[in-house]
Amino acid sequence: MNTAIRYFPAFPRISWKPYLLPLALISVFILISAAPEAFAPYRPNKLFDPYMELSAEHILGTDDMGRDLFSLLVYAARNSMLIGFASGALAVSIGVAIGLVSGWYRGLLDDVLMGATDVVLIIPKIPLAIILAAYLKPGPWILILVLGLLSWEGVARVIRSRVLQVRSAEFILSAQCLGFSRWYIMTREVLPVIFPLIVPKFVLMTAGAMLSESSLSFLGLTDTTMLSWGTMISESFTYSGFIRGMWNWWLPPALCIILSILAVTSIAFIHERGRRVVIQS
Amino acid sequence: MRTTLLRVDDLCVTFPGAGEPVPAVRNVSFALAEGERIALVGESGCGKSVIAQAVMRLLPPETAISGSVRLNGIDIFAQSETAMEKIRGVQMGMVFQSPERALNPVYRIGKQLTDPLVIHGICDRTEAKKRVRDVLGSLGFTDPEWMMKAYPWMCSGGMCQRVLFAAVLLLHPQLVIADEPTKGLDADRLGELEEMLCAVSERDGAGLLLITHDLGLAARTADRVIVMYSGLILESGPSDVVLKNPGHPYTRGLVGSLPENGFTPIPGMSPALTDLPSGCVFHPRCPHALERCRTEMPDLCMDEEHPARCRI
Amino acid sequence: MILCADSITKTYGKKKDRVDVLGSFSLELSEGETIGLVGPSGCGKSTCARLLAGLEMPDSGTIEFRGEDIHKMNREAWRNYRRSVQMIFQDPGGSFNPVHTICQSLSAVLAHAGVPRAEQETELERILYTVGVHPEILGRYPDQISGGQAQRVAIARGMIMRPSVMILDEPTSALDVSVQAQILHLLKEVQQERQIAYVFISHDTAVVEFMADRIIRI
């Protein structure tokens, strides 16, 4: 007898085939981030001759310092994926918590929280990230914090409006009648119903964070010692990769960024087709 | 002898469903004459609304339909969609369930009522407005001008119900189908509704196909009653005869459920359409079931005056 | 005297948008009794139901449960009140969470009522048997069962908490006439077995006359 409360609404009986590709792609990227040693032929710091051409030992050649480009690509996946998913998770966690509380309690608390949301909306993300990177100890966590702490307002608003709708539904009144506490109702009755909204939001936040990170790294405004796809492209510019026509340096990371973001956003559409919809009439 | 307006012959509707096909309507045949009022009565899920949608050809394309539906001799299933657009509204009109939801909330009621007249080329907008005002007045609205400027959300369920009737009456269709018109309506408004239903056929000589789960309403409003269960017709006959002297145990049970008979329930529940019992479809709930009811399904001949699908 | 309302009123909106939904309503309910509330749509019956169930606060007047004002109760008394007064709603499927199966919805209530996990399965089958529903619906979602079945399960769920009062807000208005007869009989059976007091709300006078000992018109 299955009594576990469903946070994940039932998957519809649609064909999985169109979505096999993005899921496979994302799994490959996640796998590479988790265990780069298994995929990269060499350690990223191992030096060979610089500017080498494509060959059997160096699939993508080497950069100006003699590091194998394919190994760099594989090791860079970790930071790009980490910053993307961690920022997304942070933004969604804060957004859902605030949206849930705001929509449930309404009144003064709702006004205060939505006011705070408006303030966060005004703060420009990228300039703040730049300034903080300049003043604080560099590293991927600054980026995660900034992107995560400043992106939650979109999530909060959407979740709040959905919670307002669901809150007046009769099954919530039933639950209150039966004597369940407010926290129980919020987490085990309301949350599973709004879950189909959270997943696409999370995925889009992740994609957005990945793009922001790549742009900032490309502009050299993040920690330059951090290895990510964006920094790889940036270095190829700075260290004469473009001038020398070394497409093997900047094209693979660019393709990886594009593919990972595309794969991640495609997943958002799977959950959009979920079947258990609460329609208020 | 009045001319036959609507003729349904051996209609079968099967929905594809999530796994097995669902036989919603099986071998339904009946005829509706001009000016006649017929009620299709049955519990939710017995297929009566599906028949209405089949007649209007509003069923989704993947539905499997066999049999024929003829309106004034025109074969409905052979028409193109363009031809159907001209038939719907003008030759047959439908009053849907849930009046508040059947009206578009962003347009004024006046516009929603004048548009069909203009679109079907019946008259121009000025003439249309005049006709709408007349019909609204005749339906009991004391201020038709206000009604025409109002939005649906400003009106109660009962008012929206009358607006829907107005919409249907304006086009003078020959066949009016009313799908569960009592849904969402208070018990004290039932009298008004019954008057409107009778007025529809008396005023224009239109035929009325009433779909309802309330046998009492059907008997008061319609000339003939057709009782349905799990997609089959179980009994058919003049409404007073069926009410006073039901020929089928199910109809007897429905009569017993009425308020005036003490709300006597029928034991058990309607079977799922994908899991129908063998033999007579009603035998698990029938107090008079015999051994052979488990194996044989009785036939029904619609040409008789008061046929019933029962051997007892 | 188990439930007593004294001149309760309810108004929505502020200043000039005010709507007086309920004006000075009073009621006295004794153990095992059924009181019927009749009136047309929009007269405040549902608001009255929610006030009596403690889901909303009246603007004036008091509601007393076993002599105690419900809005001045301490935690223990309030919890007891919550358990003792249950409500059945008009839309049968709507009173269940659409993303939980019937089994999950009922098990959550059983756990809340203190039934240990090991006994939940037998308890579920027993309560479904009392209301005449086959246990195979346990695996289904609310939109996959009929209105009549859903209302029976809702009644079963209300009974888990062993209430002394049940407030029935138009429980059969959304159901077929034949199903309505079944539900009304079920309610009568339950009342006889458990001595529960009912507040039965409906727009249909015939139904209320069948169910109620006393009728109040709003």
Out of C109, C112, C121, whose CB is closest to A1? C121
- Classify domain C3-217 at the CATH class level: alpha beta
A1 is written with which tokens?
A: 């007898």
Q: Do C141 and A176 touch (CB under 8 A)?
A: no
Mean pLDDT of B30-48: 90
Distance CA A136, CA A134 (A): 6
- Global model pTM greater than 0.90: no
C40 is written with which tokens?
A: 């047309």
Evaluate if residue A113 carries a pLDDT over 50: yes
Out of C41, C178, C185, whose CB is closest to B186? C41
B114 is written with which tokens?
A: 């004048």
Q: Can you tell me whether residue C24 is helix, strand or coil?
A: strand
Q: Do A195 and C99 touch (CB under 8 A)?
A: yes
Q: What is the pLDDT of residue A3?
A: 57
Residue A167: its chain C contacts at CB < 8 A?
none
Beta bridge partners of C27: C5
DSSP assignment letter at B285: G
Confidence of residue A272 (pLDDT cuts 50, 70, 90): low
Q: Do A5 and C121 touch (CB under 8 A)?
A: no
Evaluate if residue C160 carries a pLDDT over 80: yes
What would the pLDDT profile of C88-144 be if each residue is shown by its tens digit? 998 888 899 988 889 999 999 999 988 888 888 888 889 998 898 888 888 888 988
Confidence of residue A273 (pLDDT cuts 50, 70, 90): low
Q: Can you tell me whether residue B221 is helix, strand or coil?
A: helix
Share of chain C above pLDDT 90, in %: 34
Distance CA A268, CA C64 (A): 51
Out of B45, B187, B265, whose CB is closest to C181? B265
Evaluate if residue C15 carries a pLDDT over 80: no
What would the pLDDT profile of A28-51 be if each residue is shown by its tens digit? 888 888 888 888 888 888 888 888
Q: What is the pLDDT of residue C188?
A: 93
What would the pLDDT profile of B248-263 be if each residue is shown by its tens digit? 999 999 999 988 888 8
Q: Do B263 and C178 touch (CB under 8 A)?
A: no
Q: Is some CB atom of chain B closer than 8 A to the CB atom of C177?
A: yes
What would the pLDDT profile of C24-74 be if each residue is shown by its tens digit? 888 899 998 999 999 877 678 888 898 999 888 888 888 999 888 888 888
CB atoms within 10 A of CB B80: 7
Q: Is some CB atom of chain B closer than 8 A to the CB atom of C203?
A: yes
Q: What is the pLDDT of residue A220?
A: 78
Evaluate if residue A75 carries a pLDDT over 50: yes
Residues belonging to chain A: 281
Max Cα–Cα distance, chain C, nearest Å: 57
What would the pLDDT profile of B120-133 be if each residue is shown by its tens digit? 888 888 999 999 99
Enumerate neighbours of C (3 or more CB pairs within 8 A). Answer: A, B
Confidence of residue A280 (pLDDT cuts 50, 70, 90): very low
Q: Can you tell me whether residue A47 is helix, strand or coil?
A: strand
Q: Give the Å distances, CA to CA, from A136 to A130, A146, A223.
A: 10, 12, 10
Out of A3, A171, A177, whose CB is closest to C53? A177
